[in-house]
Amino acid sequence: MTEMPNAPTSDQRPVTVLTPSITDPLEIYYEPSKVFERRRGGQFWWPLLVLVVVFSLASFAAQEPMRPFTDAAFERTLAKSPNPDRLRQNREVVERFAVVILPVAMFVGSFFLGGVLWVVARVTGSRQSYSQAMTVVTFAGFVGFVAAIVNALQAAFMPGIDPTWTAHLSIGPARFLDPATAPLATDVLEHLSLFALWSTFLIYLGVKTMARVEASKAWTTAAVYWGLGLVPSLVRAMFAS
């Protein structure tokens, strides 16, 4: 009598392996959970290169609409500088080589942010590999691409906006404050804008998916990472007082 093979147990069922898609940089806007699930292996190079290219192109396209805002910010810095002539020369150099400086700075900065998230995740109990942290911050960065486009469109087609401060372009409560009289409050509220909260949500979702941790730990990681973004504002306020 021939023995029939045993039925496969639950442990023997085939495991579905999700393959990263070339369209993940687009799908992060409408199916972020699936994107992070497919990228659990920490494959961040392709989306990072896409992010650097599209963000740089958007920034160059936005230069003219945003120029009144950048000029106003530069004039404020110039007024506080002990060497304004050197500052003007530095700006000329940066503008001349912006086509190289911006992509390189964004590329290198992404690795720094990945390191920050990696450390925060370890401290908050959401351990993940560095490549996984890089994947999360890279896809969260695609929110900044949309924010750059929205800001440029506002600057170009809403002439009633005061170009003195970029905070007046914020899609959030900071839009209604005067940064000249309440700089710290404005900086804090800018971190509560639509795009800042969207990016923080992607950090939470990415950490939760990558590290396979409960929602509370992932939210804690995202909140600490968000809070670290306020450190430069707090330092400026401390030295200004």
Structure-model confidence comparison of residues 131 and 20, the more confident one: 131
Q: Is 95 within a domain? A: yes
Q: Is 23 within a domain? A: no
Is residue 124 within 8 A of residue 220, CB to CB? The reply is yes
Is residue 115 within 8 A of residue 28, CB to CB? The reply is no
Give 172's contacts (C-beta < 8 A, 6+ positions apart).
189, 190, 192, 193, 194, 196
Domain count, the chain: 1
Give me the residue label for tokens 């009633």: 160
Is residue 114 within 8 A of residue 133, CB to CB? The reply is yes
**The pair of three-digit structure tokens given for residue 122, joined into one six-digit string:** 């370890």
Q: Is 8 within a domain? A: no
Q: Classify residue 228 as exposed, middle or buried by CB count within 10 Å of its CB (0-12, 13-18, 19+).
A: middle
Q: Is 189 within a domain? A: yes
Is residue 190 within 8 A of residue 174, CB to CB? The reply is yes
- Of 126, 141, 117, which is closest to residue 202 (Cα–Cα)? 141
Model confidence at 14, pLDDT cuts 50, 70, 90, reads very low
Q: Is 49 within a domain? A: yes
User: According to the model, what pLDDT value does residue 241 have?
Assistant: 53
Q: Is the pLDDT confidence value at 78 over 90?
A: no
Query: What is the mean pLDDT of the segment spanning 80-88?
Result: 82
Q: Is the pLDDT confidence value at 128 over 90?
A: yes
Structure-model confidence comparison of residues 236 and 225, the more confident one: 225
How far apart CA 63 and CA 71 sit, in angstroms, is 11
User: Tell me: the pLDDT tens digits for 175-226?
Assistant: 888 887 888 888 889 899 999 999 999 999 999 999 999 999 999 999 999 9
Q: Which amino acid is at 117?
A: L
User: Tell me: the pLDDT tens digits for 45-59?
Assistant: 999 999 999 999 999
User: According to the model, what pLDDT value does residue 198 have?
Assistant: 97
HSE, side-chain direction, 13 A CA sphere, residue 207: 31
**The pair of three-digit structure tokens given for residue 40, joined into one six-digit string:** 């659990």
Query: Cα 234 vs. chain centroid, distance in angstroms?
Result: 20
Q: Is 21 within a domain? A: no
Q: Is 140 within a domain? A: yes
Q: Is the pLDDT confidence value at 240 over 70?
A: no
Is residue 182 within 8 A of residue 188, CB to CB? The reply is no
Q: Is 212 within a domain? A: yes
Q: Classify residue 118 as exposed, middle or buried by CB count within 10 Å of its CB (0-12, 13-18, 19+).
A: buried
Domain region containing 86:
32-240
Query: What is the mean pLDDT of the segment spanning 138-153?
Result: 95
What is the DSSP secondary structure assignment for residue 4, as one 8-state letter?
P
6-35 in b/e form (b: 16+ CB < 10 A) is: eeeeeeeeeeeeeebeeebbeebeeebeeb
